[in-house]
Structure 1
Amino acid sequence: MAFIKLAIFGFIAMTVVYWSISIYARSVRKERLENAFDADNPGSTDRVAREAYIEQGMQKYNTSIRPKLIGLVYVVPVLAIAIIAYLINMN
């Protein structure tokens, strides 16, 4: 029963960490895109072009490997616990 509680609360904790990292990474990427547009177009007041540039950059980000690597938040702890349990029970 204790293992089931550990699994449930561990999954909840990993989900919170996953969403926190995901939101943070997206906000950092969006801010970099905003700064890049502002640096390339100083004094530009064209909001439509700015939003299109940011949207295109975010679509490229979504298809890249970086957001998928955040999923390792689920994989690494499970593997670590499995390896530790195996090594402890091996003896």
Structure 2
Amino acid sequence: MFALFRLLVVLLFIQTIAYIGLSLYSRSVRKGKLEAHWDKKDAMKGDKDIFVERGLKRYDASFRRKLILGVYIVPWAGIVALIYIRNFM
């Protein structure tokens, strides 16, 4: 039982590292796209930093950002499915 607990803690730790890495990468890509969009449009008015900040706030509330939580959900669902298949089929 202790070995299973240790395995699950290690899995959770690895998932957390992957989640943080993916979140930072995804946010930096989105920021780059917003800056490129600002640079491409000559008729944009206002401050570039405010435009990027507003875009990142919208991104933080988006569904795409929440999809990164699949890093936690998919492996646990796979483990549960394997246990079910192994024991009941």
Identify whether the pair has TM-score above 0.5, normalized to the shorter chain.
yes
Instruction: Please name the residue that 1:87 is paired with.
Output: 85
- Equivalent of 2:75, from 77, 82, 87? 77
1:4 corresponds to which residue? Answer: 5
User: Which amino acid counterpart does residue 19 of structure 2 have in structure 1?
Assistant: Y
Taking the aligned partners of 2:78 and 2:30, their CA distance within structure 1 comes to: 30
- 1:8-19 residue pairs with structure 2 within 5 A? 8-19=9-20
- Alpha-carbon RMSD across the aligned residues, in angstroms, is 1.8
Please tell me the residue identity of whatever aligns with 1:60.
R
- What secondary structure is seen at the aligned counterpart in 2 of 1:38? helix
State which of 37, 58, 61 in structure 1 corresponds to 2:59.
61
Matched residue type, 2:64: R
Structure 2 CA distance for aligned equivalents of residues 41 and 16 of structure 1: 40
Structure 1 match to 2:24: 23
Counterpart amino acid of 1:51? D
Give the % identical residues.
33
Contiguous gaps of at least 5 residues in structure 2:
none
Q: CA deviation at 1:2?
A: 1.1
Structure 2 CA distance, aligned partners of 1:11 and 1:26? Answer: 22
Q: Which runs of 5+ in 1 are unaligned?
A: none
Aligned residues: 88
Consecutive aligned runs of 4 or more in structure 1 exceeding 4 Å deviation: none
